[in-house]
Amino acid sequence: MRTGARLLGIGVAACLTTAPASSAELKDLYFGEALYHAYQGDFFDALQRLDAELAMYHGLDEPGLDTLTYHVGQAEFSVGDFELDYRMHRRAGRAIKAVLEGAVDEAVRNEAAYRLAKIHFEKGQLDDAVEALARIQGKVPVEIQDDVEFLRASVDLAMGKPAEAVTVLQPLKSDPSLSGFVAYNLGIALLEEGHAEEAVRQLDAAGQLAATDPAGLAIRDKSNLVLGALLFESARYDDAKRSLDRVRLEGPFSNQALLRAGFAEAQAKQYDRALVPWGVLAEREPTDAAVQEALLALPSAYASLNLHGRAALLYGRALEQLSGQIDRVDASIESVRSGSFLTALAREESRQDAGWVIRLRTLPDAPETYYLMELMASHEFQTALHNYLDLEGLRSKLAAWKTGLDAFDDMIRLRGVNYEPLLPEVDAQFRELDSRMRLRLEQKKNVGKRLHAMLTAPRPEYLATAEERIAGERLAAIEKKNSDPATARRVAHLRGVLTFRLETEYHERLTAAFVHLKALETDVETLERQYDDFVRARQAATQSYSGYDVTIQRLRRRVEDAAVGVSGLMARQGQMIETVAVHQLAARRERLAAQQTQARYAVADSYDRAARAQGAEEAR
Amino acid sequence: MRRRVIVACLLCLSPALAWAESTDQQQMKGLDEQVQEIKSDVLDIAQELSRLEEKLLFPSGTQVAVFVELAPADTMRLDAVRLTIDGQLVAQSIYSFKELEALRKGGVQRLYVGNVATGDHQLEALMEGKTEGGADFSRTQQFTFRKDVKPKMVGLKLSGPSSSAPIALEEW
């Protein structure tokens, strides 16, 4: 029972898997990019982007200024979600534990505890799930309140504590998104607790709930199927029939429901009515176990109605079909053993289309998958299958990266060949320009200093034009050479004129000088920008081809090691899948062989009875 | 006790469970853990490789990235986007159903990563799609963006033809 309940819970929990978190107003493009990949089911790329973004965010001095800060809580949870979706439960558990142990508010911590509990539950680690659920205390976000309680009940059920599950589930009945699952689990919990009548009423209610989504419809069908079987066991055949009739004819449980509906009629000795569901079922896909049961059940109903001729014909048809199915199983086993199954799994469509398994089964060249539908429906096999596909994905990525690293090597070599002869000459020219530039900048600095000093201590002579300075120097020279008083007076007069001009035009000239200085500063800024651009371009030139050897060598080694690891694991995983598939097929073959024997005897017996009946008829 | 057996049988409707309780299950579990470890390793490699690739191919001084997102709740069906920078076709994308759904749910596509010099650049975006009623439409819009020393991120927010700005530029 424990196993059964656990599987039920896993199925239900899978329906509750949280979709990648989205935000109404996106403020970080790289987070949006990770979501873009996740929404397409490309969780490897989503994780790669988001891990990189979070690592960068946590490495910042002031992460509060980064745009991811608006989504960081959501991003931390999304990493866990993506890891779960990429079937990395252990890492997801660690990521969520990190959130739990971080300085986060109560609601976030409780949500993290819930997610951790869900991971443990899905992996069958029930004690850890209980421990994680016990950490949920205080404020729980409204949107997960019912999910938490539902998970709590599922864990109780899986641990064989139906009474506790009933207590938790009863107040939950109103939640619309969970109503079908809650109602069903409550029915099972009541049944386990020994309240059979209450369980029947509960499952009856669960089987009549309104549902539109596939999951809701499926759980409703399952409720009706389980209820039908319970009522059948209690010999309440009419009630069982009513419940089984509510199962949709096209749903995943329809074959089982039709088979059981026929048995319910047959047990009530209503063989003619049993012909209807079994007749429908016998025309369905012959690889289904319920259909194969119906192939024998249908003629047995005719035999019970004393229609031995018809029974003999149908047994004959069953024998033919069962023999055909045995041949198909043999072909499937052969095909799986020859490696075709793994080849089929690795086909491109398996990654493009969620319904690929069903389509694969219809392909004429794919006998390897005829009998694997039920196997593929199990959680463990799905995990193995997905792991194999994930490994195949990793294998192709690693192969592409290896080629990419070779291309990087080529690119770096070519860049070196291009830049190395050019750079010495460029550097020499730059050094010359650099020294000229520094000289001019120094001059500009001195001029600026002088001009600012002149604001407090005017020095008109500093603002003389070149012509005035020459005139002043010539006057000084004449003064020095001539002692003639007339010349001295004339020189004094001219110096006075010069001084007058310098003094009267001083403020105007000082203003003009500052305007020129300002213009010079703008030019200097442009020059400095160009200088910085050059320095960056020069650094980029060197950085474009040097300093990568160690990184590339290390990466190449890691890629090669990982490729070896992936190949080894793929071989083991593939072998495991094949072994399990062959075991499953062999079990089906055994069952088919038993049915074939049964059909063979039944054909003979029916023909005998038909002949006897005909003889008796003729004798009359 | 009988009831328990019945329920267990009902819950285990699939015969596939027969093997699940065997040693195969334990081996699968062991393999699953090893697969998880190697996935983790490969993810780490992918990150380091991505950093190397960015450094080698798109250094921050010249890097420009163009992202595409859909306006929230917009009902148009985006078919294709074409992007030119300074007159050169740099990227084009035809959207599959999955990609379109991912955009509709709020995902952001990095349509282009490349290199441009610092300074002003002309970006032209062409979008083609269908309105909710099924009519074809096409819009083209030119923008100017400025590339500085740090990496440049440009976002294009797309919406249907009834919007006042079907292609809106957001600089980040």
Give pLDDT tens digits for A202-218.
999 989 888 888 888 98
**Out of B18, B49, B56, closest to residue A587 by CB:** B18
Cross-chain Cβ contact A380/B28 below 8 Å: yes
H or E segment and range at residue B137? strand B136-147
Angle of helix A237-245 versus helix A214-233 axis, rounded to 10: 170
What is the model's pLDDT at position A101?
A: 82
Q: Does A90 touch chain B (CB under 8 A)?
A: yes
CA distance A493 to A478: 13
Nearest alpha carbon to residue B139 among B129, B147, B127:
B127
Kindly state whether A154 is in contact with chain B, defined as any CB-CB distance less than 8 angstroms: no
Cβ pair B4:A1 closer than 8 A = yes
How far is the C-alpha of A79 from the C-alpha of A95, rounded, in Å? 7
Contacts (Cβ under 8 Å, ≥6 apart) of A243: A204, A207, A224, A225, A227, A228, A231
Q: Tell me: the pLDDT tens digits for A292-350?
A: 999 999 999 999 998 988 999 999 999 999 999 999 889 888 888 888 888 877 776 66
pLDDT for position A612: 84
- Nearest Cα of chain A lies from the Cα of B138 at a distance, in angstroms, of 24
Summary mean pLDDT of chain A = 86
Structural domains of chain A in order of their starting residue, each with its CATH number: 1-160 (1.25.40.10), 207-305 (1.25.40.10)
- At B139, list the tokens: 């819009």
Using one digit for the tens of pLDDT, what is the confidence trace for A411-421? 999 999 999 99
pTM (2 d.p.): 0.74
Report the amino acid identity of residue A575. Answer: Q
Contacts of A528 in chain B (CB under 8 A): none
* Burial (0-12, 13-18, 19+ Cβ within 10 Å), A32: buried
Q: Tell me the pLDDT tens digit for each residue of A224-267.
A: 999 999 999 888 988 999 999 999 988 889 999 999 999 999 99
Closest CA to A5 of A157, A161, A227, A211: A157
The C-alpha atoms of residue B24 and residue B15 are separated, in whole angstroms, by: 15
Length of chain B as a residue count: 172
- Min Cα separation B152/chain A (Å): 12
Q: Is the pLDDT of residue A9 over 80?
A: no
**Nearest by Cα to A12 from A168, A178, A128:** A178
Copy the structure tokens of residue A210: 């309104």
Phi, psi (5° rounding) for residue B114? Answer: -160, -165
Whether residue A221 lies within 8 A of chain B, CB to CB, comes out as no
Residue A385 confidence (pLDDT) above 90: no
CB contact under 8 A, A558 and B45: yes
Does the pLDDT at position A496 exceed 90? yes
**Mean pLDDT of all residues in A566-577:** 92
Name residue B142's beta-bridge partners. B124
Q: Are A602 and A322 in contact (CB under 8 A)?
A: no
Distance from CA of A145 to the nearest CA of B (A): 24
β-bridge partners, B85: B88, B123
pLDDT digits over A67-86, tens only?
898 888 888 888 888 998 89
Query: Among A102-106, A275-279, A358-362, where is mean pLDDT lowest?
Result: A358-362
What's the Rg (C-alpha) of chain A?
A: 43
Q: What is the pLDDT along chain B (172 residues), one digit of tens a residue?
A: 333 333 444 444 444 444 444 567 778 888 889 999 999 999 999 999 999 999 899 988 899 999 999 998 888 999 999 999 999 999 999 999 999 999 999 999 999 999 999 899 999 999 999 998 889 999 999 999 999 989 999 999 999 988 888 999 988 7
Q: What percent of chain A has pLDDT over 70?
A: 90
> At residue A362, does pLDDT exceed 90?
no
Q: How many CB pairs under 8 A join A and B?
A: 223
Q: Please count the residues of chain A.
A: 620
CB-nearest partner of B16 from A26, A375, A565: A375
Q: What is the DSSP string of A241-298?
A: HHHHHTS-TTSTTHHHHHHHHHHHHHHTT-HHHHHHHHHHHHTS-TTSHHHHHHHHHH
ipTM comes to 0.89
Enumerate the residues of chain A whose CB falls inside 8 A of the CB of residue B153.
Answer: 29
Tokens representing A152 are: 């709590």
A7 contacts in B (CB within 8 Å)?
11-12, 17
Name B121's bridge partners. B145
